[in-house]
Structure 1
Amino acid sequence: MFIHFNRVFFKCQSHTLPCRYTTDLNNTNNLSPQPLQPDNPWQLVTTRDNGRPRDGSVYQCCRYCSTLDRLKEKIRRKRPGLLTRGVVLLHDNATPHSANLTQQCLQRYGWEILPHPAHSPDLAPSDFHLFGPLKRHLGGMAFETKDDLISELRNWFDNLDIDFFRVSINSLLSRWQKCIDLHGDYVER
């Protein structure tokens, strides 16, 4: 299957931003572009056009701002006092997180951003707690289709115990304290 990526534009928060659309050129029944809908907010869409790499960071930035909008609404509904006391957000320095549009969104909310040193996988729960067990789980498996892989991933995530995530967040606190105590210096293992 050949996937061709085109640049198109859509409206997002009063800005016109590029988005990616896919077309399956081998499927003669459906030659019209279909919107690319990444299920994973961690995903960054990367394409090549005339040999030049191009990323979907603007699209991801828009998605991230939408995620923050939904988060703010959930906080308002479930923990209304938190918005008035102040929200401290932890996210890394990925392009969608540090983009101007995202920064404007966060300033509008009045949320504090916890500084995140560059290249610090020891401070990202997905890096220090999630990817290792996931890699061990998938080790040795082979998938014939993308859908098979997605199905296995969903099954794995659905069967994780809530304590799996609790351990991750609890260890994050001590990791951050170590980073603060060392004034952001790197820690050798």
Structure 2
Amino acid sequence: MALELDVPVIQVVGYQNSGKTTYVEKLIKQATTLGLRVATVKHHGHGGMPDMLDNGKDSDRHRLAGALAASVEGDGVLQLYCKRDEWKLNDILSIYKHLPIDLVIVEGYKNENYPKVVLVRNEDDITLLDRLTNIMAVISWFPLEEEVKQRFVTFNLSNDESVLLILQAVRERHE
């Protein structure tokens, strides 16, 4: 169940190497250009704990793009650093409630129920669309079939206008 926050939450999901971090960077940059204070949460989906030094890692890229706060979770370690058996997304967001932010962007956590942007890199990734909930847009590396375009709001990965439209839609949904 999604945690009620005073700020909108958006998820960016997809399989490994689908462009999630690059798209999150675009969202952060556009949001900060609009004057929004952004926090991010990254799910370390590769198994194990995240590296202690995150130079060049995704959470570091989030900070460099302008995120006010950036965290990564993996194997029960939330890199703020706070160890416990497991960190659920809502546990992390409950910490973020205390930060002066306007938007939370979550990278990963496919099975959570916040509004999602789904990145699909190839035809095989399309099956992900049938397994997810609360999809607000699909960003594709290739031309999508008409059936997918009829079910979802879709954008080509090269369409940078999608970033602004998605941010506007997230704010409208939250109001």
Q: Name the TM-score, length of structure 2 as normaliser.
A: 0.29
- Structure (1/2) with the larger helix percentage: 1
Q: Name the TM-score, length of structure 1 as normaliser.
A: 0.28
RCO higher in 1 or 2 (8 Å CA, sep ≥ 6)?
A: 2
- Structure (1/2) with the larger strand percentage: 2
Larger radius of gyration: 1
